[in-house]
Amino acid sequence: MKNQPGPVKHDPQKLPSALQSIPDLLAGKKPAVFLDYDGCLTHIVKDPDKAILSDSMRQTLQGLAEVCSVAIVSGRDRADVARLVQLDNLYFAGSHGFDISGPGNMQTEPGGAKTALPALDASAEKLKEKLGHIEGAMVERKRYAIAVHYRNVSDSHIDEVKQVTATVLKEHPQLKEGLGKKIIELKPNLDWHKGKAVSWLLQELGLNKPGIVPLYIGDDITDEDAFAELQGKGIGILVGEHDEQTAAEYRLESVEEVEEFLKSLTEHLSKQEDV
């Protein structure tokens, strides 16, 4: 059996602007919109608790969700991102899609991550113990992940944070490493990620049909799984850039451009409905 080819990767700086391409993106279809939270709907900040959604962005999301399906797919806990967004007409996939909720009392944990909870509990305690002396290091326990933040750690201690995290990870084969911007994550060692969560939602919501085009908007390395999953059947839109090539096909420069894009998308869809 031949190996399946991997996703086509692009230079982020050479991607066309999604903002200038809405008619081409949709090609007469209705979108299903999936978005990351941090770095996409809000700016990246030193303290994750201060990544507050603006009233303007909240209104934009609410308006978009009135004309098409909208889901936020985040590494944050589902309850955390739902609390920050405060909208009940969106779907929320937290912990990289291990925990999903939405309208109509949807509440499910499709990735099978409960088996990893004991390993996550033990790893979180060990990491807090071993990294507690390093100024700026933060161990954030989520329901189905642990995020080790080193954005505020001095350069001289970053290697120590990475080595300690790698050691703890080796002690727990039930977990695997995930990388982000100045973050190392310990996640359940399962074949589940943001891309799988997007595919699950498309299937569950009946959006796998010719008249729908899935759009995924994200900024981080963890969003690459979703970009790859949608190649050939949807559109990936990278916000800014990260340190690697991307499977996204379009680009937005900033959180401000994301908001402008979502507003333009809503206007485009509203005009279609009026025709």
Helix (H, G, I), strand (E, B) or coil at 147: strand
CB burial class (10 A; 0-12, 13-18, 19+) of residue 11? Answer: exposed
* Residues forming a β-bridge with 216: 34, 236
| d(C-alpha 219, C-alpha 199), whole Å | 19
| d(C-alpha 43, C-alpha 131), whole Å | 26
Residues serving a catalytic function are: 36
| DSSP secondary structure letter of residue 37 | S
Q: Determine the angle formed by the axes of helices 117-131 and 155-170, rounding to 10 degrees.
A: 150
Complete edge-to-edge strand list for the sheet that includes strand 183-188 = 138-141, 146-149, 183-188, 175-180
Helix (H, G, I), strand (E, B) or coil at 177: strand
